[in-house]
A and B are shown apart, each in its own frame.
Chain A
Amino acid sequence: MRRLIPFLLALLLIAALLRIEFFFTILYLFFAVYLLSRLWMQQAVKQLRAERRFTNRAFLGEAVEVQLRIENAGWLPVPWVEVCDTFPVELRAPSFFRQVLPLGAHEQRTFRYTLDCRKRGYYKIGPLQLKTGDLLDAATAEDVVIAPEHLIVYPQVLPLDKLGLPTHSPLVALPAQARIFEDPARIMGVRDYHAGDSLRRIHWTASASAGRLLVKQYQPSIARETLICLDLDPDNYELRRRYTAPELAIVAAASLASHITERERLPVGLATQAFDPLADAPVTFSLPPRRERAHLMGILETLARVQLAEKQPPFPDFLRRQSVARAWGTTIVVISGSASASLFDTLIYLKRSGFAVALLLAQPRRLPEELEGMAGLVGIPIYPLWNPGDVGAIQ
């Protein structure tokens, strides 16, 4: 009732001029309607509570149930509340949940809806908007906004054989001929104790059985860490495969990280330059290799939200920068959409610097023979990711 105030002012004037007592009662009636409506709405808005509950992490293909609890915490009833929760259309269509309900004194209602995690991503759920108003439209409708929350849908994790990748070298630690480092996790055998051997190396059980001191002999290794370097520069992917190929690369990275942590129980890290919807800007992710499961979840969360980022420094330069902080002998797995000459130069440089290097290519085309030959010569294995099975698996 936009014209209520002018009407009231006119009514006030008429009542004051005519001096009819009942007209003042009419004036009071309308003023009470106006004032009570305003006070009612102010109070109702203060007493409205809303809560959204859901599991904020899910794997691809899972269904997440969202529970909305709307409550009127006060004694005054709320005549109507329009509840509107929004979410991305990738999770559910239509991309909103709406209900209209009245709420009595201290009444609460619970609603449920389900989100289908059909695509990896970092999704904003909300904001939840509660809109209410009075019975006569005398007061302005009020909104209560509950802050948005986020849902992470992890990328798909596939067994490596489904992606056509070997489950052994060079994606994991390699035994080396030169005994530079020993891996205490891999016992090769025992030998007699010699003066100068560390007490830590004594195999107490075997010594007790044999009746003499025996020390453990470890398998030599040059590195146990794996760093997955993911290329998310759109220029390195074919235009017509700008959606499928990067997704395949991300699935491969997630599967590889999961395999190394879960199966091999070895440290794995991730490095990529990507657009981060959380920061709403391109971000350089550099997760150093760790073996804990929580670290794997961190990698998967990062992979859940990364997107192609334009105008980034060239990927080969990024590879070189990332290799600086890594230990000598680290396995570097590069996942990209194309293998340019500059990338090969960098891979050869890394190889010669003492890193074990492997290249995973998310492209259907075969490499030029000379590049393949060069890779074979320097010992850089190349694994194509693009085959109908791989694409089908991620779809």
Chain B
Amino acid sequence: MNEPSLAETYEAIPEPALARVQPGLVYGFRPAALLTMVGCVALSLVGLVQVFAPDWNGTYLLVMLVSGAALGYYLRVLARQHISSDQERQRLYRLVLGVSFVAVKAGVYLSMPWERVQQDIQQWFAEPWYFFSLEFIVTFGLFVGAWLAAMATAADWEALEDPVRDRTTASPVQRLAARFFVAGMLLLITGGLTRIGLADLLNLARPSTPGISINALVYFLLGLAMLGQARFTALRTLWGLQKTPVAVELASRWARYSLIFLVLAAALAFILPTRYATPLFDLLLWLMGIGFSIMSLVLFVFQIFLYPFLWLLSLIQQTDPPDAPLLPQNLIPPAPPEAATPWPWLGLVRSLLFWGLLLGIGVYLIHRYLREHPELLRAVQRVNVVRVLGDWIAALWRALRGWGRDVQAQVVAAVQRQRDLRRARDKTRRRAAAPGSSRAWVLRHYAELLAETARSGLPRRDAQTPREYQQTLQPALPAAAPPLEQVTTAFIEARYSAHPIPPELQAQMETACNDVRAALAARESVDPAQDKGDPSHGR
């Protein structure tokens, strides 16, 4: 099979330059995503304002913020492309900002009835500062914020594509991520306050708030996609600067893998429990109640053990006997907290799972953060309390691990013992149960002989070995001493050896058994009145 040449498979990336970046990305995808994200944050802000002023029309604020972001982004991109002088660009920005100042004021008036606008304008002449109403100042401030954020985002994208001209020290990807996180926090806080209201903020007993926040979901998914794209751009630019050939299919695969990855992460996020039917404090109280019940039970058991000694002591001292231990009142654990589900225990399990998951995430994040910042870890370790706590946790962990190892070793040993026993038993069974073999024949005849001797009043006790039993029989059957020896030896060989039993042994055994039976018959004929049930007779 002919392999494609490097030239066919790979493209060498030229020197990075803004003009060579795909226009669809610069003018299409990136601003669209940016404006959507700004819109999501603006929606959240408008929602919060409407909590305090339900009649307020916030549409214009939304439009203002999105417009500010669009203006900032495109102005930055176009100015970088067409105006080479920094001073000229700054002058243009100032000019557009001045025009925007008036436009924002006009936008504020658009949301008001015309009569109020007229009154407002008339008051300007009497009181010039009336122009700067609180609403206008806040709106313009937010407009400028959106403008600056969009400009900074455009600048970061430029820096990603042309790092040579970037004069800042921080990585553009890090700056983009930081901006994304800060705006995300703002969105969550404002969105959260909008949903629960300020009054309920400090109410720890309030139930959790269900429902999906679409603007938050869109914001964060778009943001993650943007960060993935930023990462790709940064790497591609780096490879371009190093003149490293890049596989043609890398971009398409990156997009595909990003999509699959985000879908997987989102699916996982939606599967995990978010509803905690039991508030944390209720859950803690319930867990404490269980602990208290266990302690009461232990004390009760202890009291039961002590009771006889106390009673004896009371006899010595001639005092009243102590009261019998009573079952503690709190032995029964408290009822689990009320759950929203029809099965309270299921709700409890979900609560435990939820809080366990949350605790695990928190601990893991702190652990990773400290691992990534060893200087912080060292500083934390210098605090005495933390050090003692850390030592204690480490000792506990060591003890738990040691205990775990012991348990594991014991379990493994027990399993191994059981396995060995089973193997030995199987082996014995296989040996004994081989049908038609000489070994089976010898064992069967020995068993039959034992039954016959038992009927003759010479039973074999359970604890007796074959040799011991032989010595027991010999005084009772002195004439059968040699055949008894043969029978016992044949049985021992058949029972405990691993080699095949020769057929000659079978013949010898048969003869010996017959001799023993003859001796038994002779003994019975000589002493027919002997008590067959007396086992001591044969001894």
Contacts and interface: CB of A to CB of B under 8 A. Distances in A.
Nearest to A1: B177
A59 to B, nearest CB: 27
B266 A29 contact: yes
A32 B369 CA distance: 16
From B201, B275, B358, residue with most partner A Cβ within 10 Å: B358
Contact of B188 (A4, A11, A21): A11
B196 A12 contact: no
Interface stretch (B65-73, B227-235, B462-470): B227-235
Contacts of A164: none
Contacts of A135: 228, 231-232, 254, 257-258, 261
A206 interface: no
Nearest to B368: A5
A7 B185 contact: yes
Interface in A1-52: 1-12, 14, 16-33, 36, 40
Interface residues of B, number: 68
A4 B265 CA distance: 15
Given A3-B181, A102-B250, A21 B269 contact: no
A211 B372 CA distance: 97
B203 to A, nearest CB: 10
A3 to B, nearest CB: 6
A77 interface: yes
The dominant DSSP class at the A interface is helix
B362 A3 contact: no
A293 to B, nearest CB: 36
B362 to A, nearest CB: 6
B167 to A, nearest CB: 20
B244 A98 contact: yes
Given A26-B216, A36-B264, A80-B254, A12 B210 contact: no
Interface string B250-294: 100110011001101110111010110000100000000000000
Interface string A319-362: 00000000000000000000000000000000000000000000
Contacts of B201: 17-18
A111 interface: yes
Contacts of A29: 220, 265-266, 269
Contact of B257 (A4, A14, A26, A77): A77
Contacts of B368: 5
Interface in B177-220: 177-178, 181, 184-185, 188-189, 191-193, 195-196, 201, 206-213, 216-217, 220
Contact of B269 (A6, A7, A32): A32
A137 interface: yes
Given A19-B209, A28-B272, A32-B269, A6 B185 contact: no
A8 B177 CA distance: 13
A102 B236 CA distance: 13
Contacts of A74: none
Contacts of A12: 358, 361-362, 365
Given A32-B265, A32-B269, A33-B265, A100 B239 contact: yes
From B228, B254, B274, residue with most partner A Cβ within 10 Å: B274
From B193, B212, B365, B366, residue with most partner A Cβ within 10 Å: B365
Given A9-B369, A10-B185, A136 B208 contact: no
A102 B261 contact: no
Interface in A124-163: 133, 135-137
B72 to A, nearest CB: 23
A28 B268 contact: yes
Contact of A18 (B196, B262, B280): B196
B329 to A, nearest CB: 34
B224 A79 contact: no
B283 to A, nearest CB: 13
B242 interface: yes
Given A11-B188, A29-B265, A136-B224, A22 B177 contact: no
B245 A99 contact: yes
A101 interface: yes
A71 interface: no
Interface string A58-89: 00000000000000000001011010000000
A5 B269 contact: no
Contacts of A169: none
Contacts of B216: 22-23, 26
Contacts of A95: none
Given A4-B181, A20-B213, A28-B274, 13 more contacts: A5-B372, A7-B185, A10-B185, A16-B358, A20-B209, A25-B272, A26-B269, A28-B268, A29-B266, A80-B235, A98-B245, A100-B250, A137-B173
7 contacts: A9-B369, A21-B209, A21-B211, A24-B354, A29-B265, A100-B239, A135-B228
Interface of A: 1-12, 14, 16-33, 36, 40, 77, 79-80, 82, 98-102, 104, 110-111, 133, 135-137
